[in-house]
């Protein structure tokens, strides 16, 4: 009999880290002994607002009080990174039905590449179900308050970053 999975990987761009992300991280910590939060470097995607190092720093600050959580980044396929750290589960967040089709396609591709790594879909609490990094960036870019959607330290960094942009 196989042991229950004790190590999960929660990959993402986390550009901008939201309360929805933190909600899922908190849920994952209740289920798994160890959770690795990993910033993906995807060369296909356009460069984000924050650098990888800035995202890692914000994540480490935000999860400092969560036991069993570590923060890393990776530049490989997600399933290859999961295997390299010994994670047998990949956590993916679903905010709405619109997320499901893309996430299901990714889960099936990952399953074909690494059948021993299982994808688990998690939903955030209703209060965080509509929050996306894109929405947060847009609200902040137009001068709106994002204080209800991101940790205070992230909001401060976001406002400062946007002031730097021409």
Contact 20/101 with Cβ under 8 angstroms? no
Question: Taking the CA atoms of the chain, what radius of gyration do you get in angstroms?
Answer: 16
Residues involved in catalysis: 21, 45, 95, 133
88 vs 92: CA distance, rounded Å? 13
Dihedral sign of CA atoms 120, 152, 98, 82 in order: negative
149 vs 128: CA distance, rounded Å? 8
Contact 58/37 with Cβ under 8 angstroms? no
113 vs 65: CA distance, rounded Å? 34
- Strand ranges for 13-139 from DSSP E: 34-40, 69-74, 89-93, 118-122
Tokens of 68: 């069993």
């Amino acid at each position: 009999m196989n042991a229950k999975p004790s190590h999960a990987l929660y990959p993402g761009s986390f550009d901008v880290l939201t309360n929805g992300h933190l909600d899922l991280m908190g849920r994952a910590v209740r289920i798994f002994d160890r959770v690795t939060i990993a910033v993906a470097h995807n060369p296909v995607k356009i460069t984000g607002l924050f650098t990888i190092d800035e995202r890692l720093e914000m994540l480490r600050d935000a999860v400092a009080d969560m036991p069993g959580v570590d923060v890393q980044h990776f530049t490989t396929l997600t399933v290859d990174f999961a295997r390299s750290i010994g994670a047998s589960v990949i956590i993916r967040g679903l905010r709405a039905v619109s997320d499901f089709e893309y996430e299901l396609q990714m889960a099936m591709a990952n399953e074909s590449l690494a059948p021993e790594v299982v994808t688990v879909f998690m939903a955030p609490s209703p209060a965080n179900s509509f929050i996306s990094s894109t929405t947060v960036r847009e609200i902040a870019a137009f001068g709106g308050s994002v204080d209800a959607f991101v940790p205070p330290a992230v909001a401060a960094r976001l406002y400062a970053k946007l002031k730097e942009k021409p």
